[in-house]
Homo-oligomer: A and B are copies of this chain.
């Protein structure tokens, strides 16, 4: 299919420029002060879908940010691919750690991306990877090689838990009817080690508030005599892991699937260097649950991390205060079979139970989602595997990811179709971190690989 190569080389500058324009809009869904930018991004996406060849597009209002929908139905007898992605991005802070402003994209080469990478918040997660699908779709329509019907569903609340997507999917089952769901919102092992994500972790995200005295107190006059909410919060958080870094919440592990030794042996075949891993993060040692390797700890095992903590005086200099309140944002990564709503309840009950008298504790569930596993014998996985073989010259490795895309398990439940996670980013692309970037080579390689997926998915479906 030479037309793929030639169309890409002819239009790649425009592909890049269009993505850069998209990345300039700070569509931060977590911070309401960016509301207009998020909405602007939705309109931008709708326009792109029209340009690319959708013969019907629509912006679906929700109680939160809208969902952009677009479709091109060429023949009801052909299989239908539903592409999911998101146009919202993570907050960029800490801003001061960015080498260039997060919403002023620049292209610079890196060790892993000698051909250059686009540095900007959302470059990889998920504007860049979502936009690969829009451009691959444009390629197929302009070259009259589109082998399947296509539907796009691009949301604006993924980074805040896809709060309203569930309702939308439930209410639009027919409109969203499809034979396979395609998502590029994960990564691959390396540019010369293609991989396809077959497992995702679930998530439970909560915020906790510990209240001691009804006002901030002088730590000299009251210190030692009243419960200090910060000390108490630290004690409670510390107690959530035992000396083996097992999570201590009762019944937390009840439904965790233990992988067989065969499966663990299979996993361990993925190329991994602990030395490089530690070097890349500049840490002396890794840290985690006893009895599991690093790759197991961040994929097949559930975890509990504090994502933010604050209380008392955090300004310049010193303030000898016992604050009235202390807060933390805590998230748990879950594995398939752990129900996120049950886990959230278990956390809430436990955290409230361990609070000492002298403080009041409030636990506010934030959002969450179930884990997911894609069977590698599914049509979609087979089609994806063949597509990678065409463009990478080797068979991709099936890989469990530690990340979560809460909505994937809901897709299967509501739409009865499998999701294929075709990620082209690298772990080192610093998503959710300062200096997020996405390789130019990866962006174009994605645009090149996607049409092959459509071709093989149609052929295998017949």
Contact = CB atoms under 8 A, between A and B. Distances in A.
A231 B213 CA distance: 24
A312 to B, nearest CB: 4
Interface string A120-141: 0000000000000000000000
Q: Which of A220, A311, A358 has the most CB of B within 10 A?
A: A220
A239 to B, nearest CB: 7
Interface stretch (A65-73, A170-178, A337-345, A426-434): A426-434
A385 interface: no
What is the total number of copies of this protein in its complex?
2
Interface stretch (A106-114, A374-382, A401-409): A401-409
A187 to B, nearest CB: 8
B322 A312 contact: no
A224 B318 contact: no
A288 interface: yes
Contacts of A221: 187, 298, 401-403, 427, 431
A225 B298 contact: yes
B215 A331 contact: no
Interface stretch (A43-51, A86-94, A145-153, A437-445): A86-94
Contacts of A238: 231, 234-235, 237-239
A348 interface: no
B220 A367 contact: no
A315 B309 CA distance: 10
A433 B221 CA distance: 12
Nearest to A200: B220
A212 interface: yes
A358 B305 contact: no
A169 interface: no
A297 interface: yes
A144 interface: no
Given A331-B219, A432-B319, A231 B305 contact: yes
Interface stretch (A53-61, A276-284, A451-459): A276-284
A228 B25 CA distance: 31
Interface stretch (A29-37, A260-268, A386-394, A413-421): A29-37
13 contacts: A30-B316, A31-B316, A219-B331, A220-B404, A223-B298, A225-B297, A226-B283, A228-B306, A230-B308, A234-B238, A287-B356, A287-B358, A318-B329
Which 7 A/B pairs are nearest by Cβ-Cβ distance? A30-B317, A220-B403, A224-B303, A238-B238, A308-B312, A227-B287, A285-B357
Interface of A: 29-32, 90-91, 93-94, 97, 159-161, 187, 201, 203, 205, 212-228, 230-235, 237-239, 241, 281-289, 294-295, 297-298, 301-303, 305-324, 326-329, 331, 333, 356-359, 366-367, 401-404, 427, 430-435
